Amino acid sequence: MPRPEPIEKEKLILAEGKDAFYFFCHACNFYREVEDVQVMNFGGNDELPNFLSDLTNMDKFDEVNTIVISRDAETDADAAIMSIQDAIKHANNENSANIPIPQKSFTYTNTKKSSMKVAFMIFPGPELKNGTLEHLCLSTVEGDPLLECVDDYLECAKTKGERFPRAHKNKLYCFLA
């Protein structure tokens, strides 16, 4: 399980896995949000509860004013939401952290009990219930004529014995190549 790196900024984005980690690092650089935003990779979804517990015990956690947790919906967006809420409850119970628990995705908590704002993002986004960050990225190029070439290439590779257990990732990587 990845352990949280030292807290250096007041705003944290907790990303599921290295792909999301690099996506957010590049997005923060592009939008010039690197001054006060720190991106951390919490690993897999089952690692989030312990990652949050460890995070709340770290030096400077009391200086954090914003946490955004991102993860893929995969096949069940509602279960993804519950898993994030349960992970926050776990950290609160383990360490009396008092992290506010958001009730819906893409919305910050608004509570008088805490000055900390917390939100979570479920990919591919609020309109698309199930899927991943890669599905979101592919939706931005929907209709691009190159996607037909990508589909043809992947289909050809399958006929040659290649297997693609994560078709959405393979399609995006092929498109970007």
Record the tokens describing residue 121, joined without a space.
Answer: 């993002």
Six token digits for residue 93: 């119970």
5, part of any domain: no
Q: Is residue 136 part of a domain?
A: no
CA distance 98 to 163: 45
CATH assignment of the domain containing 93? 3.40.220
**46 in a structural domain:** yes
* DSSP assignments along the chain, one per residue: -PPPPPP-SSEEEEEEHHHHHHHHHHHHHHTT-TTTEEEEEEESGGGHHHHHHHHHTSTTGGG--EEEEEEE-BT-HHHHHHHHHHHHHHHHHHH-------SSTT-----SS-S-EEEEEEET-SSS-SB-HHHHHHHTTTT-THHHHHHHHHHHHHHTT---TTHHHHHHHHHH-
Q: What's the structural domain count of the chain?
A: 2
Q: What are phi and psi of 81, to 5 degrees?
A: -60, -45
Domain match, 20 and 62 both? yes
CA distance 75 to 65: 31
Residues 85 and 31 in one domain: yes
What angle (nearest 5°) sits at the alpha carbon of residue 104, between those of residues 99 and 109? 40
Q: Domain of 161?
A: 141-176
* 146 shares a domain with 117: no
39 and 118 share a domain? Answer: yes
159 and 91 in a single domain? The answer is: no
* 131 assigned to some structural domain: no
Indicate the pLDDT class of residue 1, thresholds 50, 70 and 90: low
- Asked if residue 68 is part of any domain, the answer here is yes
Q: Looking at the structure, do residues 85 and 17 belong to the same domain, yes or no?
A: yes
Are 82 and 145 part of one and the same domain? no
Residue 100, in any domain of the structure:
yes
Task: Enter the pTM of the model.
Answer: 0.89
Give per-residue pLDDT as tens, 94-125: 888 889 999 988 999 977 777 899 999 999 98
What does the chain come to in residues? Answer: 177
Q: What is the pLDDT of residues 24-56, one digit of tens each?
A: 999 999 988 778 899 999 999 999 999 999 999
What is the rounded CA–CA span in Å between residue 101 and residue 154?
A: 41
- The answer to whether residues 64 and 148 belong to one domain is no
Is residue 102 domain-resident?
Answer: yes
User: Are 79 and 151 part of one and the same domain?
Assistant: no
pLDDT of residue 94: 87
Q: Are residues 169 and 95 in the same domain?
A: no
pLDDT of 22: 95
How many Å apart are CA 154 and CA 162, to the nearest integer?
9
- Predicted confidence at residue 129, as pLDDT, reads 79
20 with 104, same domain: the answer is yes
When pLDDT is averaged across residues 61-73 and rounded to a whole number, the result is 95
Q: Is 4 a member of any domain?
A: no
53 with 99, same domain: the answer is yes
Which amino acid belongs to residue 56? T
